[in-house]
Amino acid sequence: TFTMMNAVYPHLKAAHAGTIVNVSSVAGKIGGGLLGTAAYASSKAGVNGLTKAVAKEGGKFGVRCNAVCPSLTLTDMTSILSDENSQRIINGIPLGRAAQASEPAQMVLFFASDLASFVPIFWCRFCWAACSTRYSPTCSKRSAVLRLA
């Protein structure tokens, strides 16, 4: 994530336009991964901090930076969870279900669109659409959508 953002941010800043959408995890907010690893949770917390920092710095240059932080999402990675662990996680999600893989993807599309041209910070630690940081009132027609893990 850092390497990719480091590569594209100067170009977006020079153009005074652009959008970066990172994909993180609710694990970065609550301090524990769905699979229980400290390395995963700390790496996602780093993505969240980087997203906030770039949003604050980039806003004055017309660059938006957001992050989507899914909770339990039905993917190959989460298919290894036992039914008991999956249900424990689902019990903590207000919607009472895991996300389909398309749902976080739709949030990425939303944050990359002009519909999210002025979305304030939003953290929802239990649902799949979790964090967004937006500090720029500019609306960009040229958006680079970056799905960064």
Which residues are marked as active site?
40
- SS3 breakdown of the chain: % helix, strand, coil, rounded to 5? 45, 15, 45
Q: In what helix (H) or strand (E) does residue 99 lie, and over which residues does it extend?
A: strand 99-100
Which amino acid appears at position 90 of this protein? I
Exposure of 81 by Cβ count < 10 A (0-12 exposed, 13-18 middle, 19+ buried)?
Answer: middle
3-class DSSP state of 64 = strand
Give the separation between CA 67 and CA 44, rounded to whole angstroms. Answer: 10
The structure tokens 């590569």 sit at 7
